[in-house]
Amino acid sequence: MKWINHQIVTGFIVCTVTDDALFTASSIVGAVVPDRVEGSPPKESSAYWKWRKRHRTWSHYPPIYLALIAAAQFAKNFYADPTVDFALNLLTYALVGALLHIAEDALCGKVPVFTPHGKHGLKLFKVGTWREYFFAALIIAICLFVRFGNIDSLIKLISEVVP
Ligand SMILES: [Zn+2]
């Protein structure tokens, strides 16, 4: 998935769940972290294949991000300060953004799940294709419906369209 779609899909999901602008912004920053920590692919061939071998291994390994979230939440026990508490929550949502990135990657390729090198995933679409944009639009539509829609208005809409 392209970075912009990672950011849009992640932002919509976190905004829908938290209804908080700063947590949403934080998750959008985190949404590109798993790719950012890998650095950009080198141009030179042998360096490229070395990079490629490491691609989507440790950087996309969910237990690391889960452990960091647990550590951030655990650290809150030692600070009564609301500013520190808030900062740790921002960090947590950045890490949630990284986890959503990995989940989104799993829909268009393979990511590690149980071990850093054992990759699993569905291949619902190729990166950059219309299917990717359709998928992103679908997630946005679902989020908007969850946020603003209700069953009565959906039934009314369907009854207007279907005679
Ligand atoms: Zn990725």
pLDDT > 70: what percent of the chain? 97
Could you tell me the pLDDT band of residue 156, with boundaries at 50, 70 and 90?
confident
Distance 1 CA to ligand 1 centre (A): 7
Interval 36-68: pLDDT, tens: 999 888 888 888 888 888 888 999 999 999 999
Interval 77-108: pLDDT, tens: 898 899 999 999 999 999 999 999 999 999 99
Could you tell me the pLDDT band of residue 154, with boundaries at 50, 70 and 90?
low
Query: Which residues crowd ion ligand 1, with CB under 5 Å?
Result: 34-35, 105
User: CA-to-CA distance for 116 and 37, rounded, in angstroms?
Assistant: 15
Over the chain, what is the mean pLDDT?
90
User: With 80 as the cut, is the pLDDT of residue 16 above it?
Assistant: yes
Distance 26 CA to ligand 1 centre (A): 17
pTM: 0.86
CB 116 within 8 A of CB 61: yes
CB 67 within 8 A of CB 45: no
Mean pLDDT value across residues 156-161: 76
For residues 65, 71, 74, 80, the Cα torsion angle rounded to the nearest 10 degrees is -110
Distance 146 CA to ligand 1 centre (A): 27
Distance 57 CA to ligand 1 centre (A): 10
Distance 35 CA to ligand 1 centre (A): 5
Distance 73 CA to ligand 1 centre (A): 25
